[in-house]
Structure 1
Amino acid sequence: MSSFQPWIKRYSGAGGGAALVFPHAGGAALAYRALGAALAAGGSDTYVMQYPQRGDRLTHPAPETVGDLAADLFDGGDWAGLGPLRLFGHCMGAVVAFEFARVAESKGIAVDSLWVSASEAPSTVAAAPALPMAEAEIIAEMVDLGGTDPQLLADDDFVELLLLAVRADYAAFNRYACDEGVRIAADIHTLGGDADHRVNENMLRRWETHTTGAFTVSMFDGGHFYINEHIAEVAELVHAL
Structure 2
Amino acid sequence: MSTLPSHLEKQLENFIVLQLTACLSRFDDTKPQKMMKSYFSWLRKFSILYFQTRIQRAQELNSPEVTLAKKLAKEYIGNKNHDFFVTCVDGRNMPTIMFSKPPQVGGALRTPAGVVNGFMEGQKSKTVFIDTDSYVVLQIMTLLREKAGDTIYYGLDSHLGCAARSFIHSTEGGKQTDGGVRADIVNKMTTTKGILQLQKKMKKQWKYVADIVPIFFSYDPSSGGVISGLEIHIDNKDVVNFGYTE
Q: Give the TM-score normalised by structure 1.
A: 0.33
Larger Rg: 2
| TM-score normalised by length of structure 2 | 0.32
- Normalized per residue, the structure richer in helix is 2
Q: Which has the higher contact order (CA 8 A, sep 6+)?
A: 1
